[in-house]
Structures are given as structure tokens and as C-alpha cells.
Chain A
Amino acid sequence: MTTALLDRANAPARDARLWVVDCDIHPAARARTDLMPFLSERWRAHLAGIGPRAAQPLSGAIPWPRMNIGNGRRLDALPPSGGPAASDLGFMQAQHLDANGIEYGILQPLSAGGNTLDLEFGAALCSATNDWQLEAWVKPEPRLKASLSVPQEYPEAAVREIERRAGDPAFAQIELKPRTIEPIGRRRYWPIFAAAEAAGLPLSFHSAAYGPHANSGGGWMPFYIEEHYAFANNIQTVVTSLVMEGVFERFAGLKVVCVEGGFAWAPTLAWRLDKVWAHSRAELPHVKRPPSEYIREHVWYTTQPVEEPEQPQHLRDVMDWLGWDRLMFSTDYPHWDYDDPRFAFKIRMSDAEKEKIFRGNAKALYRLP
């Protein structure tokens, strides 16, 4: 488990010509109390007391050991100053942003608010997380952009939060959980889509451990390896539901980013949906075009964890089918399955292809200067 597969000391230096937009960085609070300044007195007391409760058996932890010694985080990302990995901006700058030539980094704060069962508390946590991202990260480090956390199971509050922050260029996108109480395309979530479209903000769905339903159609799977694999499934549900409920017909300007779900599943899902759709037209009159067309127009993918075929060239087939303009590089810093921009892709890419995936596609989607 602790065998290093990569000799970092002798690894090549970064390609100085390549600037990178990292579409998945996880800033950490030093402690839960970091959010206190951004909460009302009532919610400060609640956070210190009962705390955030989600539909899971352990308080404040997922019920799987993550089977790596950093509990899901790179050990070498622990800041010398103490505190959790990615809780110290200075160390993140030195270890990641500067060392890897990060031109912009998109933060994914993974706010607990979106899964919090007490809806009002969840809304307060999301809002506090947004203030904290601005104060602790984006203002001191303009290379970083925030993702707007919203309580997706409380659309009214989510819409308020989106409208309050609309127009602030510090926020690149909205952060939603892919594991929702109902499939995300159902009507209850549509006010969020209307607000996102009006604000011109893409919706990002970051894969995350644990949700309100079993992690497979055969019930709860006991191992972390199964749970982690199943991220690729929950992100497919997001894409399927948005297409089949007609969300992209209704909200033609909506853009969706699938974060940390991989991408090799995407072409085959589109083919499968096209076929099912062709035989289900009477059930789906609101889906006017083949699903693959909506997916091609509305969906982007971050790359980590890059799937690794036995024959590396096979990945290129997938990228061709998916579209080179839809993939956006991400590292998942500081998590254990981090993709290093030097090694993530085991295929040769032209300079033009690299420019798209490592930088251009994200700059265009997020309108970064």
C-alpha cells in the first residue's frame, strides 16, 4: 500500500510551455470553526452542537476506510504549518499552483450543506462556505475561482443564494451533489436550473461518497473500491436524468460539468440512450432530439481520475468519440487519487490537443480572461 509507484524526486520538471487550468481543487478548512465567522449566532451554536447531519451511519465520516494512509489525502500534502491537507494557502501555492503552472484553479469546497438533512442549516452552511471561499482563498489568491455551494434539496434557498451571488466573477460555477434525493432532472430542481441559466453559471456535479440512496441497484456495497468505482454510475444518472426529463429542451443555455466521475463511460452512455430513446418516443415526447445531441452540446467532463486502458492508445478512441472540446483537466488536489499533469495521460497529444484539455476548454467554458 505504501509502495511509491512514481519516483517523484527524479520526475521530470513541468513543461514550462504548458499552463494549466485545474478544474478540481479541494480547499480544506483548518477546523470546522473556520466557518463560524460566516454563520449567524443560531447556526454557530448548531454547528458547535448537533452539527451537520446527513443520511449516513457515522457522524462526520463516511462508513468506509479509504484504504490509504492519508484517509483519502496525499500525505505529502499535509502543510508543514499543521492542519489538514490543502488548508494552508501558502503551501498549496508552493506545492501545487506554482509547481504545476496552474493559471487558474477551480475550487470544489464539497460543502456539507448540500447533504444536510436540516434544510435551513444546510442553506446556512452553503452560504457560509461561499463566504469562506471568497475570504480565505479567492481574495488572497486570484488564480483561484470559487464554486457556489447551494442546498440542492431546498431549491428556494438555492435560488436565493444564486441570485445573491450572480455577477460576481469570483464564482466560476455552481456546486451540486450528484447523489440527490430524486433524480436531478425532476421538476423540483428546475428553479435551480432557471436561476443558473439566468446567472450564466455552469452547474458542476462533483462525485462524492455517500448519498441518500444505496450506492448500487443491488443495495449497499461494502467496500470502498466498489463505492469509488460507483462514482462513475452516479454521474451517469445525472446526465441521463437531465436529458430524459427534457431539462436541456427547457433550459437551452444550461451547461453541465461532470467532475471526478471519469469520462470513458460517456460515449457508451450516449449510444445506449440514443437507442433506448428511439424505441421510447411515445414515452418521451418532450425529448425532441437524440440524447447524444444534447449531451454533446451541454455536457463537459473533468478528466481525473483518467481511466487507464491496458493499451493506452485506447483512451484516444474515447476522447475522439467524446469530443476534444469537452474535456477539462483536473488534479483533485490534495486527494489520494490526484492526477499529475505530467503523468495523467499515457498517450501522446499534439500541442493543440494539450492546449484544449489542459487550458483552453476550461477558459472558454468559465470565460476566464
Chain B
Amino acid sequence: MRLKPVDCDVHPAVSGTRALLPYLDGYWSDTVQMVMPGIQQLELNSYPPGAPLSVRPDWRPPQGKAAGDLAQLRTHVLDPFDVSFAICNPLFGAQVLFHDYLAAALCTAVNDWMAAEWLDREPRLRASIVVSTVDPDRAADEIERRAADPRFVQVLLLAGSEMPLGRRYHWPIYRAAERHGLPIGIHAGSMFRHPPTQSGFPSYLAEDYAAQAQVFASQLSSLIAEGVFAKFPDLKVVLMESGVTWLPGFMWRFGKDWRGVRSEVPWIDRPPADIVRDHVRLTIQPFDAPPDPAVVQRIIEHFGSDDLLLFATDYPHWQFDGDDALPPGLPAGLVQKIMVDNAFDTYPRLKESMP
């Protein structure tokens, strides 16, 4: 049977904490209704809902939330891109709260909500398990609980974390993910514990957005330097909405750094670029290149692999217009890998859960 494309990054919107009431117990339901009226929306500051970057103009509904219901998702993505699957990454404020019990309760509720209101109703949808890194043990518990449902295919973290993602503090999450064949999906966005730059918070959303690429680069350096892939050899990491074209420069510079000071990190026993190609995947929007096929072809050659890129629309974020979701000039064989094969290789649960 011929497989159809997989959209590896779409963002169904939680309309607010009230939508989660059916999935919260009495205590948390009371808390949300009675003492949280001022923070009911829990929108990430990384994606202000009215910002042009957050919603493509023709994907913004006249009223209500963009990507807020299944009808929109079908009309804008599932049908026109004729996907076999789309992987849902709900970007929701539960992941950035300080209160660890509240964060965990809301993450669990989001996952229940995802299963009941999206996955049960649309067989083409798969989802990431939303967890809070404020308490990694509890996050691992949530992964264990959710792993029984094969429609959950990865774990969702935000790039702008409280501590570098490679640090041992986070390892219970990786241990649970590896055990169940779940990649760690790291998505753009921040907990705002630290500025995205080494010179403080920038003035403009546009700068904050642009700086996400360097946040990802540092997180990748952290995962490699701390030995996460030596400790968890079957773990895959998917960088989502990270931008793509910065990666070769990262491999060249970080590889040179490794040759210079590798005695500091003796558990890295091979060039970082090889580790990247074995363990790291990137969704293709945004790609960040000029619309020149010759340039795109050169960049693709710099990766040294056809396995790294995964098709994604990043719906409803504004990355491209029309149905132009791929950069120009990709060879046909590579298009097949990006659209289909690489996703099925990265997410083993996709095939396991096929009808």
C-alpha cells in the first residue's frame, strides 16, 4: 500500500482552561473556575494569538480560535495536503507554569482532551504527550500512563526551558520516552525563565521568534554534550519550528569545538555531526532559505543525509502561502523521503497504529 504524507507539526488550540474542566478532578476544576479567572486563556507569550506570525492570514477564522476545531483542521490541512497523519502539538500555557502540581494536572487534562476531542473523532490525527518539565518524575509518570495509547507518538517539550535540556534533571523524561519508542519533540517557544539571547529580552516579537533558532542550537549542543544520546542510544529528538538551514553551520562549528576540547566530554566518542544524523530530525517549516533552487540544493548537500527532514505545515502559524509547503528545487527522491518515509522511520508508532 502506498503511504501518504505525514504532517509532523500542527497546532490544535485549546480554547482555554474551561475547555479542560471535564478532564480535571473536583479540586482542580474548582481551582480553575474560582481562583484562576484572570489566567484562563493560558496562551504562550511566544505565540500571541493576534500576531501575524501566529496565524496565517487566510487561516484566521472570522471569529473563534484559529485551529480551534476539527472542521478548520480538515479544511486547511488534512484534506488539501492529503495526509495519512497529522501530528498534533498543542501549544498551551500548562507547560510554562511555575506551580508544579497545577502544571501537571493541566498537562494531563490537555492529553485527555486531545484523545477525546480530536483523536477519537478524526482517525488521521496523532498527538504528542504534553508534559511539564518543572517536575520530570511526574512528567515520566504521564508518559508511562499515556504510552498505552498508540495514537500518542512523541513527547512535547519547549525549546526555551528552565535548565538546558541535556541536563540529568530531565533524564527521567528521556528514559520513559525511549522505553516506549517515543521521540522527544522540542518545539519553538519559551518558559520565559531566561531571555532567548545572551543579551536579554529583545524588543520585538520578530526578534524573539528569530532567536528561537539559536535557542535550539544551544539545546542541541546541550543534548550532545551531556551525553543524552550515549545514555539513551535509541532516543530520537525532533526539532519543530526550529528553522532548518542553521544546522550545517552548527555541525561544522560544534564539531570543531569537539575536536578542540573533547577531553571535557569523553562520553562523546564520535563526531557530533554523526550523532546529529543518527538522532536528530527537523520539521521543514520554517526552512529559512531564499527561494532559489540552487541555494536550496547546496544546503541539502551540506546536511550529508536525506533522513533529517520531516514534512510539516506548522498550521496555523504563518510560514508559507498557498500550498507551497516545501522549498523549491528538492530532488524527487528526497521529496518522497521528506513527505513520507522519514516520518514513518522517526515515529515507529505511526505504522503500529495504522488501521
Contacts and interface: CB of A to CB of B under 8 A. Distances in A.
17 contacts: A67-B264, A219-B164, A221-B218, A232-B217, A232-B249, A236-B211, A240-B207, A245-B203, A264-B248, A268-B213, A268-B245, A272-B286, A277-B206, A307-B249, A308-B252, A309-B252, A310-B271
Interface string B235-274: 0000000010110111111111111111111000001010
B205 A237 contact: no
B220 to A, nearest CB: 9
A269 B247 CA distance: 11
Contacts of B210: 240, 244, 269, 272-273, 276
B329 interface: no
A47 B53 CA distance: 50
Dominant secondary structure of chain A at its interface with chain B: loop
A79 interface: no
A233 B203 contact: no
A178 interface: yes
A145 interface: no
A318 B200 CA distance: 29
B4 interface: no
Given A222-B167, A225-B257, A226-B218, A217 B249 contact: no
A183 B207 contact: yes
B193 A219 contact: yes
B218 A271 contact: no
B302 A234 contact: no
A212 to B, nearest CB: 8
A271 B290 contact: yes
Interface residues of A, number: 75
Contacts of A279: 52-53, 318
Interface string A165-190: 00000000000001111111110000
Given A237-B198, A241-B197, A310-B251, 13 more contacts: A68-B260, A217-B159, A218-B163, A223-B225, A225-B225, A226-B164, A244-B204, A264-B248, A268-B246, A271-B245, A272-B210, A273-B210, A314-B301
A264 B249 CA distance: 5
B218 A216 contact: yes
Nearest to A273: B210
Interface in A240-292: 240-241, 244-245, 262, 264-265, 267-269, 271-277, 279-280, 282-284
A226 B225 contact: yes
Contacts of A212: 200
Contacts of A179: 198-199
B286 A275 contact: yes
B147 interface: no
B222 interface: yes
A305 B195 CA distance: 26
A9 interface: no
**A-B pairs, 10 with minimum CB distance:** A217-B215, A216-B218, A264-B249, A307-B252, A280-B206, A233-B214, A67-B261, A237-B197, A268-B245, A217-B196
Interface of A: 1, 5, 65-68, 178-186, 211-226, 228-230, 232-234, 236-238, 240-241, 244-245, 262, 264-265, 267-269, 271-277, 279-280, 282-284, 305, 307-311, 314-315, 317-318, 321, 336-337
Given A181-B199, A268-B288, A229 B162 contact: no
Interface in B270-289: 271, 273, 286, 288-289
Nearest to A272: B288
A65 B261 CA distance: 10
A183 B203 contact: yes
B321 to A, nearest CB: 10
Contact of A66 (B217, B246, B261, B302): B261
Given A240-B207, A282-B52, A314-B302, A229 B221 contact: yes
A213 B194 contact: yes
A185 B264 CA distance: 35
A241 B197 CA distance: 10
Contacts of A336: 260
B161 interface: yes
B222 A226 contact: yes
B148 to A, nearest CB: 31
A156 to B, nearest CB: 20
